[in-house]
Amino acid sequence: MSDSALPAGAAVHHDPALLERLVLEVTLLSRHHPAARRRTGFQLDRSAYLIMTRLQLGAPLSLRELAEAFGLDVSTINRQVAAMLDQDLVERVADPDGGVARKIQPSKKGLRLFEADFEVQQSGMNNVLAGWPDEDVAQLVRLLERFNEGVEGLVRHPWPRAPRPADTTVPARRGVSP
């Protein structure tokens, strides 16, 4: 768990004005994402992109494991994965560990579309951050990682992250090279 986690029962009361500004900025951030997806012509829908984000990080996952990763019901993940199977974005494979449940992994097509959408997203970020020094971008990444890890600690759903050298802030991805 990150250094932002609090001991059990500990309470911190931050400045309400700061929290108000933070809530507003997070709300605005979440508002920009769907509009940017429409404007830039993403190829994967939001749920497929999120599922691919998780699947491309490592070994194939069962529907139950995906549901746990997202904090959703298995039936919800099942519907989303079924749509992805219909589009040949993912494929079912035998459990590499010999288990009974079939696992889900990205297909070559799914990885190709994910990579294309990821590159569009990276390009958009690069445009937004034009003029920012690398040190500021690195600080933003570190603070967002810390914030996300804090949320993950509270909800007990950690998201896997590839190990990074101290000066690298972008996690490694499994996928198709450009």
Cβ neighbors of 134 (< 8 A, separation 6 or more) are none
40 is in which domain, residue-wise? 36-155
pTM over 0.85: no
Side-chain half-sphere of 46: how many Cα atoms within 13 Å? 7
Residue 116 lies in a domain: yes
> Contacts from 71-74 at CB under 8 Å and sequence distance 24+?
71/155, 71/157
Counting the structural domains of the chain, the total is 1
In this prediction, residue 105 carries a pLDDT of 95
Say what the pLDDT of residue 15 is. 85
The predicted structure's pLDDT at residue 130: 95
User: How many other C-beta atoms lie within 10 A of the C-beta of residue 61?
Assistant: 22
What is the model's pLDDT at position 5?
Answer: 55
pLDDT in tens, the chain (178 residues): 444 555 555 667 888 898 888 888 888 887 776 666 666 677 898 899 999 999 998 889 999 999 988 889 999 999 999 999 999 999 999 988 777 889 999 999 999 999 999 998 888 889 889 999 999 999 999 999 899 888 888 877 777 777 666 655 444 444 443 3
Tell which phi-psi region holds residue 170, choosing left (phi > 0), alpha (psi between -120 and 50) or beta: beta
d(CA 116, CA 113): 5
| Residue 140 included in any domain | yes
Q: What is the CATH number of the domain that holds 99?
A: 1.10.10.10
- Is 17 among the domain residues? no
Q: For residue 28, is it within any domain?
A: no
Residue 6, domain member (yes or no): no
Residue 113 lies in a domain: yes
